[in-house]
Amino acid sequence: MDSHSSHLNAANRSRSSQPPSPSHSASASSSLHKRKLAASEDHAPPSTSFPPSSNDDLESLSAARGADSGSDPEESEYAVHDGYEEDFAPEPDQDSSIRTFTAARLDVNGSSRNAKIKTEEISTVELGAGTGTAGAIAPKDEAAKILTCGAYIAREEALRREEEAGRLKFVCYSNDGVDDHMMCLIGLKNIFARQLPNMPKEYIVRLLMDRKHKSVMVLRKNEVEGGIPLVVGGITYRPYHRQRFGEIAFCAISADEQVKGYGTRLMNHLKEHARDVDGLTHFLTYADNNAVGYFLKQSFTKEIYLEKDVWHGYIKDYDGVLLMECRIDPKLKYTNLSSMISKQRKAIDEMIRELSNCQNVYQVAEFQKKEGGSSKNIRVEDIPGLRDAGWTPDQWGHTRYTLFSGSGDSVTKQKQLNALIRGLLKTMQDHSDAWPFKEPVDPLDVPDYYEFIKDPIDLKTIGKRVESEQYYMTLDMFVADTRRMFNNCRTYNSPDTVYYRCATKLQAHFFSKVQAALQSENSQSQSIYHHRLTLLSNHRYNPSRRFSLRSQNDNVADSDLRYDFDLFTVGAGSGGVRASRFATSFGASAAVCELPFSTISSDTAGGVGGTCVLRGCVPKKLLVYASKYTHEFEDSHGFGWKYDTDPSHDWTTLIANKNAELQRLTGIYKNILNNANVKLIEGRGKVGLIIVHHASMYYLEEYGFLSLVCVQVIDPHTVDVDGRIYTTRNILIAVGGRPFIPDIPGREFAIDSDAALDLPSKPKKIAIVGGGYIALEFAGIFNGLSSEVHVFIRQKKVLRGFDEDVRDFVGEQMSLRGIEFHTEESPEAIIKSGDGSFSLKTSKGTVDGFSHVMFATGRKPNTKNLGLENVGVKLAKNGAIEVDEYSRTSVPSIWAVGDVTDRINLTPVALMEGGALAKTLFQNEPTKPDHRAVPCAVFSQPPIGTVGLTEEQAIEQYGDIDVFTSNFKPLKATLSGLPDRVFMKLIVCANTDKVLGVHMCGEDSPEIIQGFGVAVKAGLTKADFDATVGVHPTAAEEFVTMRTPTRKIRKGSSEMGVPYFISGERQVLRLKQLQGSREGCKIRLDLHHWSFLTRRTISIKSQRFYQWRCHKAHNHGAKLFDRVTYSTCRPDSQESLY
């Protein structure tokens, strides 16, 4: 469908009495679709009237609920739009963040996954985090209020009553020549034309009057005797009878009749008519952002399950819109949905009140940490997951409930459970094959056992937990420990060992006893255990398979009891994509979830490719290329180039082309995942669920639908993606980071690096706050594009953590290019002026007239709202995930790579970490990411390339080092006349001759440093460098031609100083002299400027320097020296200079 046409979900627009307008012009035209077989299709009757609904069929239930990703914020806040979400809206006197559910998460497509469970069965159920909270047991009066006041139910019932009274009529008309039908079609055409202003009227008329299209309409009775019924709205669709699917073309409700439930009611009638009259089984439609939310609530999905051969060639592909699918249930009475929900709510509430008698609250994570059941009862408000969701005892109607770690059977008598567990434990202890498991493994006997087995368990430990009578709150927990014991044995030992065979035999014996015990127990009480051996045999609860539970009589192989995935990655950036596709190449199953594409990151937007591809390295480098042309034009004059007019730059073209490239790249990443058989799921992932054990399950045998009481669950093997639950053996967090702006007055006027890459216009004058690599890169970009650039830093120098010489050099070079640095200034406020410009107030004063104020004050890990704190993942103070050397978090099943760990925040490092993780998990090759000698680049102007240790780090780690430096004018600058220079530096261990660090600032530094990264990683020596023939004429050859150290640093040197002037300020040269130097030694000082060299020689007397001043600097006070070096007259005692 061209679902720009669908404005049924635009509740907020209707409040303003303004007709909604589509976000962009229509592009999907069903009249243009390829219809190779259309001529031979059978045609359904041209018109059909719908009889009024009845209450006869109340046995089935739909499950068409989904997150409204396309709805407006106001709609989500008030939850008054059409669809099932209204059914779960909070009462007016409740906080909007708290939603009370008594029945939810119903699936119209669930009939193929029927679970044969009796009405009285007890089961654990789940609801993904972020979709609301569960009021499983509300007070009786409250429950009645919810049943009668649900927005969805109330409106559905009101419309149904109007149908029964004859005031409303739902019909299906087509262009059959009948006058009344044609009048109604014309009325519907007028509604489409008003509600879809960007849709060409000729296009609307052509499809509406096409005899192959049909229109389901809602008509209101005309109060005038004999008057034509009034058209309220309708849906136009094209049925393909042979293919048994239909395409929705238009969908709209009159502006003055919106927010009354017509949209959902109309869709329900359409589904019944299409199924019963046209024989259709599916609907397809194209939806834009304004319509996606509406169709999700009408049980449409973003995933297309209908085979492509069925619809391909009949529906044309369109850019910028989303193809969605709806499967029409063959039995469900859609128009009686509200009555069915009411009936099931009442039944579930009665069952919950009857069966829920557990009152203690336990936190599962504490059970796993403490032996002997030492966990204590806690208040429900103190549980992180419940507290964050806003649950309170008053809301539940009870003060306390019991949380369990698994989905096993509800046990109403704890003593009965303890007796059963003790009996099962004794059967294992007495078995002849139990001897390997009776005691913990002794590390003296098996030294490497605990290197492979991270979660050991044995019968002795299990026995202590059983004796406490408080540890195993369910049979599932006990079974999980025993199964882990057997799996540990089989993991460490090969199949041909006696230990492996003992584990297999004892496990078979154990589960046979469990089955016998359950059968015996079940014969005594129908309310306990109920055919749940399959779940007990399974390692863990798998909520995504709750519709395929098997009875205890099924013979289930162990290989069938697995997770949905071996690896589920949250975040499709560089590290996440690398780990996922490597995992599948090693034979594992993998999935990745990622937010929808956007060039600016947020809680609801991301994109496949991550920060580097969409908001970092790639777009930034493209802008760097664009900005460098300014310097190229300037340089070209010295080489003979002349221009009749000055070159101009179009910012809009640059941004448009950049965004087009990002779209191409994100498509490539999607193809990479698809080709690697990695499932890509769009949405926000949240880790862990909270399992509540006493919830009930209601089964309608005729239709096979389950109505579930929905509650959050804590489980470190589960990921919730916008309400869709997936289980996984391992979870990888690779969500990266996002820009950080300090909380100062006026911060709302500031932009970050994301926004700076996507500005609508080029800044005229920009303030950049920050002295890191991001600040310098954007300073170079905007300076190169002729913006006036001011950089504000809190310290004296830029690039904290880089080599001191490099910091000095790049600051001086950027200053020469016209960038103004404001050092030792901290931002205090941003002030907006009346003319729209901004002033930046700092600790030293205020600078006015900025068109933009950008903050490049660092990035923070993007760990908010992931649910990590609920499952026990430890976070650092800055929010980064703490990991070990293998990238594992404090929770054994959860791992993290990339910027979210705040180790080395570089794309190649994330790739390395992702690949190492995949090898560790799925190739039986534990691999630690090597973070030593990682090359990096700063794409400032001039750019920087560096690998290895800085001089300061080398002194600290090695003490004795030799430093080689070179500062020269590159060949290109000899004709351009510009003051461009290149700085190079080698740091060498004096004792081993090993090259410890390579640093460069100048043109092509990032390209050059990559090769020297290999040299440093390989541990090459200075002699290896000297033996290498250089490429001439290049700047890179300088690295292999530097022979004489600029300075030597040795342990135990003492500091002495001599004053000198730089830029008119008196400073002190810190000179390190060897201990034992004789008095009277002469020092030669070389003061270098880019255009000349000044040399002076002074003498030392009594370990003191004569005060010596540079004559030229002293007289003029403005000469800038790039560097100052010195040496003693003895050739073997050249020293370090600071």
CB atoms within 10 A of CB 183: 14
What is the 8-class DSSP label of residue 880?
A: P
Burial of 454 (0-12, 13-18, 19+ CB in 10 A): exposed
CB atoms within 10 A of CB 799: 23
Residue for token pair 């008519």: 273
CB 491 within 8 A of CB 452: yes
Bridge-based pairing of strands 1065-1073 and 995-1001 is unpaired
Q: Which of 1069, 1092, 1081 shows the shortest CA–CA distance to 1128?
A: 1081
Bridge-based pairing of strands 282-287 and 245-253 is parallel
List the structure tokens of 941: 């102007």
CB 730 within 8 A of CB 567: yes
Which helix H or strand E contains 345, and what residues bound it? helix 337-355
What is the 8-class DSSP label of residue 595?
A: P
Across-strand partners of 301? 325
Q: Which of 796, 872, 74 shows the shortest CA–CA distance to 405?
A: 872
CB 599 within 8 A of CB 655: no
Task: Return d(Cα 800, Cα 772) in angstroms, integer.
Answer: 7
Using only C-alpha atoms, the chain has a radius of gyration, in whole angstroms, of 36
Q: Which alpha helices (DSSP H) does 525-608 contain, by range? A: 533-537, 574-585
Q: Which of 458, 550, 547, 467 shows the shortest CA–CA distance to 506?
A: 458
CB atoms within 10 A of CB 536: 23
* Catalytic status, residue 1032: yes
730: three-class secondary structure by DSSP: strand
CB 24 within 8 A of CB 5: no
Task: Return d(Cα 973, Cα 971) in angstroms, integer.
Answer: 5
Amino acid occupying residue 875? L
Task: Return d(Cα 819, Cα 787) in angstroms, integer.
Answer: 10
CB 941 within 8 A of CB 814: yes
CB 102 within 8 A of CB 143: yes
1031: three-class secondary structure by DSSP: coil
CB 420 within 8 A of CB 514: no
CB 860 within 8 A of CB 775: no
Q: Which of 856, 848, 718 shows the shortest CA–CA distance to 791?
A: 856
Task: Return d(Cα 7, Cα 120) in angstroms, integer.
Answer: 43
CB 716 within 8 A of CB 893: yes
Burial of 387 (0-12, 13-18, 19+ CB in 10 A): middle
Q: Which of 531, 1032, 1089, 1111 is catalytic?
A: 1032
Residue for token pair 């002076």: 1096
Instruction: Please give, one letter per residue, the 3-state secondary structure of 237-261.
Output: EEEECCCCEEEEEEEEECHHHCCCC
The residue count of the chain comes to 1138
Q: Which alpha helices (DSSP H) does 199-331 contain, by range? A: 201-208, 262-276, 289-297, 308-311
DSSP of 891-930: STTEEE-GGGG-S---HHHHHHHHHHHHHHHHSS------
Q: Diameter of the chain by CA atoms?
A: 122
Active-site residue set: 1032
